[in-house]
Structure 1
Amino acid sequence: MKCTADIFCLLSLLALSFRSVAQAPDIDPSFPVARNGKLQLISDQFSFTEGPAADAGGNVFFTDQPNNKIWKYDTNGSLTVFMDNAGRANGLYFNRRGELIVCADENNQLWSLSPGGKISVLIYDFQSKKLNGPNDVWINKKGDMYFTDPYYQREYWKRTKPDLKLQSVYLLKQGSHNLVSVEDSLVKPNGIVGTPNGKCLYVADIGASKTYRYTINKDGTLGEKKLFAEMGSDGMTIDNQGNLYLTGNGVTVFNKDGVRIKHIPVPAKWTANVCFGGENNDWLFITASDKLFKIKMQVKAAN
């Protein structure tokens, strides 16, 4: 996720790198969008939206990081503030207990929020050093959390350089307080999502304009690494057909073999993130600059 004015130039450069992929012809002009499905604007009252995540009921939570809020869009179409002073929340994800896991980069932490909004800090640092800024998170069925930690300088930080030399992907196993680095060879890891069976993890290296697929070992560490797409991504999600949704210039969809099948144009300077939600988990929600959109799909959430 990127939101502050000092990186708008970077966004423009990244958008150019996405454009050649996004403008390629669709293999299937309709799939995976529902027949007659059209992009619908929910609201444009924000500064920079990010981190959409749906709870078990299909209600969608997302962040407005510059305004330090987490919002909720429920299945009845009601839009409300879920949390003020939200730790400059970025990426979000619900665990199986209904707790909202928050990448809170105001103090470079990982939080857990109860349904009532009570904060528990899960991670304060790594090897006694501040994290770069937890960005996006994915949780498997066992409760193990994988999150990316790129460095984007924030105007609300006192520091002006990272404490850590590397920008890594981390694993926090269920019930553990021991944070483990599972990938530290990427330029700038950002979007992350895994398959429902817990066997594969996708990580976007937005700094290198590439997305990789890793096998997940039995102990949770990452095994074989393969290039999935010659495209980076800010946030991402996966559907129940195994298609992967990458963001930046709109939303670009790849099938499980890494073949581009669809591009969804989004009228915004930058498309940051996506998730499935709604009562039947068949709406794709898109956070894009100061806006929140949705579009009806033929497919559903993977999990």
Structure 2
Amino acid sequence: MILLGVTQTSCKTLSNDNKAIIAAGAKLTLVADGFKFTEGPAADKLGNVYFTDQPNDRIIKWNAIDNTVSDYMKPSGRSNGLYFDQQGNLLAAADQENEVWRIDSEKKVTVLINGFDGKKLNGPNDLWVDSKGGIYFTDPYYQRPWWTHKAAEQKSKRVYYLAKNSDTPKIVADDNFIQPNGIIGTPDGKTLYVSDLGDKKTYSYTIEVNGTLSHKKLFVDLGSDGMTIDHLGNIYLTGDGVTVFNSNGQHIEHIIVPQNWTANVTFGGLNRKTLFITAMDSVYTLEMTVNGVIN
């Protein structure tokens, strides 16, 4: 059962910088609960947010106008991470068969990727789309109860890139990751952030013109399940609530979420100033002064 609510929780202040990103007097608000495990939030051009309840095999829509939630697609290929492309298609890391999907406005599914080098992917997790329409995605390995196989077919846990109009992804990061997970790029398309959740670290890469990655640098000694970015370039990492770093890797804020685990985060709402947070069986919102960005 999904319950709509207005439960509010105070946010912890870490520094004077927090006034630059959290709206004055804003409190964390419970939008809905009763899910199994929420993940993968992505906002469309109207600010509505789509998120997944992977164990229940469904994608759910949060309406930015009336603050309600409703089932959007079920079954959903056990979708995990989501992201919208420039044409308004919803891209999904469809974990049921280790694929990447494109879901159009009529809910027609196109399988963009169903393997690599003749083998199954480990389990695409999170995605980011660049301004050219290319897709970066992480491919860790988390054993799922709905799989018949019990081991990864790929020898490494990587980051891949699928160029627009291509049907073959290429490896862009194969750095002995333990579990690459959260991923987000900057609006100018110059920098990609990738979290190795298993190693509790997040890295930055330079994005080259051909989509390859270079100049790997440690961004922060903290991993992240999912992540997002605001228009100032602040990076939002998840796990123990939401931890915010500026583009220099300086810790500027921590948003306490009353759940054992915070899985993912994005900006939604009509003006993209609503931080939308997925955490365990619930979803929350928090009003911000900063806004998210659209590629």
Same fold (TM over 0.5): yes
Please tell me the residue identity of whatever aligns with 1:119: V
**Cross-structure match for 1:114:** 104
Q: Distance in 2 between matches of 1:117 and 1:88?
A: 15
Corresponding position of 1:291: 282
1:57 corresponds to which of 34, 46, 56:
46
Task: Give the aligned partner of residue 212 of structure 2.
Answer: 221
Partner of residue 230, structure 1? 221
Picking from 158, 173, 196, the partner of 1:183 is: 173
- Quick check: 1:40 aligned with 2:29? yes
**2:203 equivalent to 1:205:** no
State the Cα RMSD in Å: 1.3
Please name the residue that 1:16 is paired with.
none
**What does the per-residue CA deviation read over 1:248-285, in whole Å, with 9 as the maximum and x for residues that have no partner?**
00000000100000000000110000000000000000
Q: Deviations over 1:9-31 (max 9, x none)?
A: xxxxxxxxxxxxxx994353433
Q: Secondary structure at the match of 2:276?
A: strand
1:1-303 equivalence runs, <5 A: 25-26=14-15, 28-76=17-65, 77-185=67-175, 186-303=177-294
- Partner SS for 2:199: coil
Kept in 2: contact 1:46–1:291 (CA 8 A): yes
Cα displacement (A) at 1:116: 1.7
Extract structure 1 runs of 4+ deviating beyond 2 A.
23-31
Q: Which runs of 5+ in 1 are unaligned?
A: 1-22
Paired residue secondary structure (1:61): strand
> What TM-score do the two structures reach when normalised by structure 2?
0.94
* 8 Å Cα contact 1:54/1:93 also seen in 2: yes
**Identity percentage over the alignment?**
51
Q: Structure 2 CA distance, aligned partners of 1:171 and 1:289?
A: 29
Q: Match for 2:155: what amino acid?
A: K
Query: CA–CA distance in 2 between the matches of 1:126 and 1:219?
Result: 19
TM-score (norm 1): 0.91
What is the alpha-carbon distance in structure 2 between the residues aligned to residue 255 and residue 143 of structure 1? 26
Once residues 83 and 18 of structure 2 are traced to their aligned partners in structure 1, the CA distance between those partners, rounded to angstroms, is 30
Equivalents in 1 of 2:222, 2:245: separation in Å? 11
